[in-house]
Structure 1
């Protein structure tokens, strides 16, 4: 899952990004409103964390413009402007949640996951393909009832494929889900992640296959026992 952090305090942004990355999110940082606008026209985000006091404008104006344009991406207003009337104004402007600074990183993560568990949110379902199951609310993967621990990027890759079983997931969609703009990604990083995930699924006895659709992307099917494809 990919998040956009709109925050102009560089050290805070670095700490929040590092914490959210450890929690399994790909995170882009926008230190200005202009960069936030640019980011949302380039990538799709599951949640946006929006500081309201930005150097080049008011975050509420940016939020209102997103909502007027029909962008329904969940937004958490994260700000030192924490008075009751300011909270009300933020929620009335289209924020889905409001978190005052300073805040605990654990609370921020909990609020993000709560948003994602709402109806139609990214964490709002249990996915199944063959004997492979993924619980989006806990990020738990199992094969035939046995737990299968996965590293963050392979877990995200598996979720992207399981949400579209039998359909091709394009390389661009996978890249958007796995990597932030600032991630250092080499040319075969995606292929390496797919290869490692295939091997783990084979070893665990998963009855699924990940097919390569050359020049387009990848597709997961659940018709027969998994094989080690290259």
Structure 2
């Protein structure tokens, strides 16, 4: 069953939307603040996000910026009471796929959600390669020699970030920001642990350490 992340701080609206989505066959994870949403997006994979802009402990735009900053392509439908054009433009410019203004009808929300899902599934995303390793961002799939390799969500995001930035060296702090956002406090060796796991699963050359600077994707030759 596909899972939707609902980020809405109004308990009554959250319950109503959860019920409506459940009736359509989706599982729902409901967060009532921005911090909960950021954690949920790290720990789980969702087919779509319904995202309110006005949230406790951060804003919906900050959540969206964190997602797109770490190359998370999950479609986002903004649900907001803000009806000014500038707010809608900011949301779309930040990477949202569509928006709907409160109050809205249940059927309109469901129709817009189905539309962003159709568009996202129809999008063509190039497969990234390193030797016999292939990374498909749309399917969130990594193979080595044609066989699927099981990666954690954060291992996948680090590999995707490095493949997308081929030819560049990224610092540990840059990779941490892609994973958790710039306001998160995590251990200093977290990225090194994920890199070690990637090398164990995919080969020593997949990620190259540039001592004193950071990491880069491996050379093709």
Q: TM-score, normalised by structure 2?
A: 0.54
Alignment gaps of 5+ in structure 1:
123-166, 171-230
1:99 to partner: Cα distance: 0.7
| Equivalent position SS for 2:121 | coil
1:121 to partner: Cα distance: 5.1
2: distance between equivalents of 1:73 and 1:38? 15
Q: Which residue matches 1:69?
A: 70
1:42 to partner: Cα distance: 1.4
Q: Which residue matches 1:97?
A: 98
1:105 to partner: Cα distance: 0.7
2: distance between equivalents of 1:70 and 1:120? 16
Alignment gaps of 5+ in structure 2:
124-146, 151-221
1:120 to partner: Cα distance: 2.4
Q: TM-score, normalised by structure 1?
A: 0.52
1: distance between equivalents of 2:95 and 2:33? 19
Q: Which residue matches 2:54?
A: 53
Structure 1 residues 76, 119: closer, same or farther in 2, change over 3 A?
Answer: closer
Q: Deviations over 1:97-154 (max 9, x none)?
A: 01101110101100111111115259xxxxxxxxxxxxxxxxxxxxxxxxxxxxxxxx
Structure 1 residues 88, 34: closer, same or farther in 2, change over 3 A?
Answer: same
2: distance between equivalents of 1:61 and 1:82? 19
Q: Give yes or no for contact 1:78–1:101 (8 Å, CA) kept in 2.
A: yes
Q: Which residue matches 2:17?
A: 16
1:43 to partner: Cα distance: 1.0
Instruction: Write out aligned runs for 1:68-217 (5 A).
Output: 68-118=69-119, 120=121
Q: Which residue matches 1:41?
A: 42
Deviation beyond 6 Å, 4+ runs, structure 1: none
Q: Deviations over 1:67-101 (max 9, x none)?
A: 01111100011000111111111100111001101
| Equivalent position SS for 1:53 | coil
- Length, aligned pairs only: 125
1: distance between equivalents of 2:95 and 2:20? 26
Q: Deviations over 1:186-208 (max 9, x none)?
A: xxxxxxxxxxxxxxxxxxxxxxx
2: distance between equivalents of 1:119 and 1:11? 29
Q: Give yes or no for contact 2:75–2:120 (8 Å, CA) kept in 1.
A: no
Aligned residues: CA RMSD: 2.0
